[in-house]
Chain A
Amino acid sequence: MSRLPDDPSVKRLPYEPPTIIAHKTGLANKFGGAPAGRRSLPRIEGVPVSELVERFGSPLFVFSEHTLRRTYREVHRAFALRYPKVQLAWSYKTNYLDAVCRVFHQEGAWAEVVSEVEYAMARRLGIPGSHILFNGPYKPEPALRVAIEEGAHIHIDHHEELYTIEKIAKELGRKVPVTLRINMDTGIQPRWDRFGFNYDNNEALTAIRRLHTGGHLVLEGLHAHIGTFMLDPQAYARGAAKLADLALAAKRDTGVAVKTIDLGGGLPSRATLHAQYGPGADTKPPVDDYAEAITGALLAAGFPQDELPTLLLESGRALVDEAGFMITRVAGHKRLANGTRAIIVDAGVNVLFTSFWYRHDVLPAVDRGGMLEETVVYGPLCMNIDVVRPSVLLPPLEAGDALVIRPVGAYNVTQAMQFIRLRPAIVMIGENKEIDLIRREEVLDDLKGPELLPDRLKP
């Protein structure tokens, strides 16, 4: 203790904070307690996380153009290898960013929209009505009128919508092609029966007969969105078989051959649900299993060769989730009353909405070694619910250290809200490692701009 610590002759050991962790017993599992292994993510698509933070600040959403394109091609290839007529339609609600939408459109995707706002987004990006699937349970009459005039593919959700479209068709003096949304029992729970007409109780076939006898609409397609984050490919096989059966029944009844069968979205990403035992990357069936299930059911249904319908898919999460990353920095540490370690980071659930459902990977950009410890990752919001990960093994971290959270490409950008904090900047890393700002960090006017303060209340 006689020499000062800054004496250059004294070589001090690398530091990590003093920590003690109690061993737990009785928690054996079939994986034998194998250590999770140390993981860090110093680069995204070859670009150092430190460089991204330095240039654009934190928190920061990062999208990989390469992963967007690769994932799109993998999904398209899985279906196109097995079925002659396949068309993907990018689900806008999963991620509205123009840059992300344009990547998918460049790859050949149509647009699947669920409101007049999303419809306008797609048109603004140059997508013609004929390449737009207009879905959703509520489409105001003016929006339907525009979509019909522009030749969009309209998916009818309920009888009132059917009557409205009939009325517009009558006024326009032409037959309007439409798709019916169908719900059904595909053997999974919860059963999604809120969208469209029911197959199992014959409501769907009755609606088709009604549509046909009205004389103003032509049945163009059948659509079903059987669920979300579907981990059982066979549910899609059952859904495809029922849609095919309905299409053939419609042909027998009305003489009209259905041109498209749309299995909606719902394909999972590699994210891990909170309730899942193993990591999502290990438990998610490959996209080929879904392609085999769907195309196998359609090819076996008995369509005449020249009336094989085009298969439409409205993938969102499966295409975009893994291309999205969130960089966040450690703001502070805590030791909770029960001894659990906690950190506070600068990105919270207002911009990482999917934290409520998924155990996102939380990886340090740099792992300087030291003991891994179970850690609660709190966001910066003054709200008890702001928990990014309730428990994750992390090495010692210092304030300012960067963490990368993934996959966060699906739904977080579209559902991010200006709650307590404004929304962060978003960058895209291009195929040639170019880094483009695709949405700037918000300023107060982005939040307060639409407000109007009455004169009597002005300061």
Chain B
Amino acid sequence: MLDHLALSESGFLFDSRTGLTYTLSKSGTFLLRALIDGADAETLPERLVATFDVEPPVARKDVEQFLFRLTDIGILGHADADDEVAA
């Protein structure tokens, strides 16, 4: 569930769990919107290729790095750490 994330079309992101804000690139906004709307992460490279002018190998690499980054900064996952953030 990503209902703690408020993402605008222009790429402005508010994380209500932490109060932090972010800016995303167009393709980053596109991917995070898909995740918020319930898309399976495995479909993201295909969705990226369908919408943006990018080759599949590049899309796969970039999506992998992007998901890693989202996890790393706590936008995705880290459900177990919620208490720590709140504390």
Q: Are B24 and A19 in contact (CB under 8 A)?
A: yes
**Is A5 among interface residues, defined by CB-CB distance under 8 A?**
yes
Q: Are B54 and A15 in contact (CB under 8 A)?
A: yes
The secondary-structure label for the interface of chain A is: loop
Chain B residues 8-23 with CB under 8 Å of chain A are 11, 13, 20-23
Chain A residue with minimal CB distance to B13? A20
- How far is B62's CA from A10's CA once the two chains are assembled, in angstroms? 22
Q: Which residues of B contact A15 (CB under 8 A)?
A: 27, 52-54
Q: Are B21 and A19 in contact (CB under 8 A)?
A: no
Contacts A1-B47, A1-B50, A12-B53 given; indicate if A371 touches B23 (C-beta within 8 A): yes
- How far is B61's CA from A368's CA once the two chains are assembled, in angstroms? 20
Chain A residues 335-356 with CB under 8 Å of chain B are 335, 339
Chain B contributes a number of interface residues (CB within 8 A of A) equal to 34
Q: Are B47 and A396 in contact (CB under 8 A)?
A: no
Contact pick for A22, options B30, B65, B73, CB 8 Å: B73
- How far is B31's CA from A10's CA once the two chains are assembled, in angstroms? 19
The secondary-structure label for the interface of chain B is: helix
Q: Are B23 and A23 in contact (CB under 8 A)?
A: yes
Q: Are B23 and A20 in contact (CB under 8 A)?
A: yes
**Is A18 among interface residues, defined by CB-CB distance under 8 A?**
yes
**Is B82 among interface residues, defined by CB-CB distance under 8 A?**
no
- How far is B26's CA from A23's CA once the two chains are assembled, in angstroms? 17
Contacts A20-B66, A20-B69 given; indicate if A14 touches B24 (C-beta within 8 A): no
- How far is B48's CA from A363's CA once the two chains are assembled, in angstroms? 28
Chain A residues 1-51 with CB under 8 Å of chain B are 1, 3, 5, 10, 12-23
Contact pick for B25, options A3, A10, A19, A335, CB 8 Å: A19
Contacts A12-B53, A22-B20 given; indicate if A370 touches B25 (C-beta within 8 A): yes
Q: Are B51 and A18 in contact (CB under 8 A)?
A: no
Q: Are B50 and A5 in contact (CB under 8 A)?
A: yes
Q: Are B53 and A3 in contact (CB under 8 A)?
A: no
Interface magnitude class on chain A:
20 to 34
Q: Are A14 and B52 in contact (CB under 8 A)?
A: yes
Q: Which residues of B contact A14 (CB under 8 A)?
A: 52-53
**Is B49 among interface residues, defined by CB-CB distance under 8 A?**
yes
Contacts A19-B24, A23-B23 given; indicate if A12 touches B65 (C-beta within 8 A): no
Chain A residue with minimal CB distance to B21? A23
- How far is B25's CA from A16's CA once the two chains are assembled, in angstroms? 7
**Is B75 among interface residues, defined by CB-CB distance under 8 A?**
yes
Q: Are B25 and A13 in contact (CB under 8 A)?
A: no
**Is B37 among interface residues, defined by CB-CB distance under 8 A?**
no
Contacts A5-B49, A13-B53 given; indicate if A371 touches B25 (C-beta within 8 A): yes
Q: Which residues of A contact B69 (CB under 8 A)?
A: 20, 335, 339
Return 29 A-B CB contacts under 8 Å, by A number.
A1-B47, A1-B50, A5-B49, A5-B50, A13-B26, A13-B52, A14-B52, A15-B54, A16-B25, A17-B62, A17-B65, A18-B24, A18-B25, A18-B27, A18-B28, A18-B66, A19-B24, A19-B27, A20-B22, A20-B23, A20-B32, A20-B70, A20-B75, A21-B22, A22-B20, A23-B23, A335-B65, A335-B69, A371-B24
Name B's A-contacting residues (CB within 8 A). Answer: 11, 13, 20-28, 30-32, 43, 46-54, 62-63, 65-66, 68-70, 72-73, 75
